[in-house]
């Protein structure tokens, strides 16, 4: 609930800006490019100083990953659309007060909501703000993925769960988008290296900036293997490859994302990010995701970060006491046994066939891609 006291001032100012911009004939299909005029302070070793807290909880104002098709190629909302989104956010924020008044605790105390903003979608390219179509192989890999978010899926094995279910990783680029909680980001620097600590799933990205050679393609990580360089006085460019397939490239927790956490990542995925510091308290973050095995074309996104050095990072204690994997499996087996008994059939002894089949399909796809 970090933004409850300032969200409506921000909403009022944004609405006023939207009305003024439209009156001046603003082109709603274009976002202004990041400025290169600002010169950040330097670290003691002479690199641009990006260190500090850069949480993205202020972006959790119902801006979707993918754009409403009715908005066409517009990057920005009209004043009327913005007012409607602001009203939706107000209703979501009211849940907290409603629960307090009824002496209950539910999603209102769990989910953080920030002020609405004018962006129609986080995706900026393709121009329609939608994820590109899958290739046939991308669709095959998606169909083979397993997750608790897939409706009607049985559970027999740990392989029936995705990496986020198992508290391992939210993956990339999904980890760089806002969620309804645990949105902390913090940048650390040392000579020749930048580290980005993420509150969700307690992961830290280590990005060498000293020109070190890439690691062999056989070395794969959940978050890939990154190499960075200072592109100019206020921009850090990061290229990431060597992804280990497994996590979904999108996450259901980000508004407007595919709902089943089955956006594949292949061994050929490549992510190019630019962190533009355009002011002492603002970074414009942009990336392009290219995965020719999965998508028919690359796609790009842009988010505006704000400094908040007072943001408190909470421990993401997910593994401890995580009994849900076992609970899902035992409940799924019990449901199927009950259904079989009701139909007069002999219950089949539970097997891990679903997970094994998914693993075999995924391995088959990797072999085909490497040929």
**CA separation for the pair 125, 132 (Å, rounded):** 9
Helix/strand/coil for 287: strand
Helix/strand/coil for 25: coil
How many Å is the Cα radius of gyration of the chain?
22
Q: What angle do CA 112, 115, 116 make, to 5 degrees?
A: 115
What's the pLDDT at 26? 86
Q: Are the CB atoms for 245 and 268 separated by under 8 Å?
A: no
What's the pLDDT at 352? 44
- What end-to-end distance do the CA atoms of the chain give, in Å? 51
What's the pLDDT at 109? 78
Write the DSSP symbol of residue 221.
B
Who's near 86: CB < 8 A, 6+ residues apart?
A: 11, 15, 115, 116
**CA separation for the pair 184, 60 (Å, rounded):** 12
**CA separation for the pair 36, 22 (Å, rounded):** 26
What's the pLDDT at 106? 85
Pairing of strands 225-232, 235-241: antiparallel
Q: What's the pTM?
A: 0.85
What's the pLDDT at 62? 92
What's the pLDDT at 87? 94
**CA separation for the pair 246, 263 (Å, rounded):** 10
What's the pLDDT at 354? 45
Helix/strand/coil for 202: helix
Helix/strand/coil for 304: strand
What is the H or E stretch that residue 134 is in? none
Query: Can you give the pLDDT of all 371 residues of the chain as single tens digits?
Result: 444 444 444 444 444 455 555 545 789 999 999 999 999 999 999 999 999 999 999 999 999 999 999 999 999 999 999 999 999 999 988 888 888 888 888 888 778 889 999 999 999 999 999 999 999 999 999 999 999 999 999 999 999 999 999 989 999 999 999 998 999 999 999 999 999 999 999 899 999 999 999 999 999 999 999 999 999 999 999 999 999 999 999 999 999 999 899 999 999 999 999 999 999 999 999 999 999 999 999 999 999 999 999 999 988 888 777 788 999 999 999 999 999 998 876 555 554 444 444 444 444 433 333 33
What's the pLDDT at 355? 45
Buried b (16+ CB within 10 A) or exposed e, 266-304: bbebbbbbbbbbbeeebbbbbbbbebbbbbeebbebbbb
What's the pLDDT at 311? 96
């Amino acid at each position: 609930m970090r933004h409850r006291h300032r969200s409506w001032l921000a909403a009022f100012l944004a609405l006023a800006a939207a009305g003024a911009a439209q009156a001046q004939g603003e082109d709603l299909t274009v976002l202004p490019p990041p400025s290169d005029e600002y010169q950040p302070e330097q670290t003691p070793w002479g690199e641009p100083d990006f260190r500090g807290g850069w949480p993205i909880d202020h972006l959790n104002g119902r801006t979707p990953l993918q754009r409403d098709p009715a908005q066409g190629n517009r990057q920005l909302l009209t004043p009327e659309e913005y007012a409607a989104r602001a009203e939706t956010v107000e209703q979501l924020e009211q849940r907290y007060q409603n629960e307090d008044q009824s002496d209950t605790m539910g999603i209102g105390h769990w989910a953080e909501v920030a002020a609405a903003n004018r962006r129609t979608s986080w995706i900026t390219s393709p121009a329609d703000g939608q994820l590109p179509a899958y290739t046939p192989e991308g669709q095959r890999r998606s169909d083979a993925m397993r997750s608790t978010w897939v409706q009607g899926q049985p559970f027999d094995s740990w392989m029936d769960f995705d990496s986020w279910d198992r508290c391992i990783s939210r993956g990339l680029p999904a980890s760089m988008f806002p969620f309804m909680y645990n949105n902390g980001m913090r940048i650390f620097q040392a000579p020749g290296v930048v580290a980005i600590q993420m509150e969700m799933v307690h992961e830290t990205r280590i990005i060498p900036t000293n020109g070190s050679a890439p690691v062999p393609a056989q070395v794969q990580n959940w978050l890939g293997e990154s190499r960075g360089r200072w592109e100019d006085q206020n921009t850090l460019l990061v290229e990431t490859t060597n992804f280990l397939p497994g996590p979904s490239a999108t996450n259901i927790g980000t508004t407007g994302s595919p709902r089943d956490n089955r956006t594949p990542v292949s061994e050929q995925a490549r992510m190019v990010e630019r962190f533009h510091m355009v002011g002492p308290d603002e970074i414009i973050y942009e990336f392009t995701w290219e995965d020719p095995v999965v998508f028919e074309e690359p796609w790009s996104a842009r988010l505006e970060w704000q400094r908040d050095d007072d943001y408190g990072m909470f421990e993401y204690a997910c593994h401890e006491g995580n009994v849900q994997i076992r609970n899902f499996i035992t409940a799924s087996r019990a449901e199927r046994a009950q259904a079989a008994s009701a139909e007069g059939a002999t219950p089949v002894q539970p097997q891990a066939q679903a997970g094994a089949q998914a693993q075999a399909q995924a391995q088959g796809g990797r072999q085909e891609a490497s040929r």
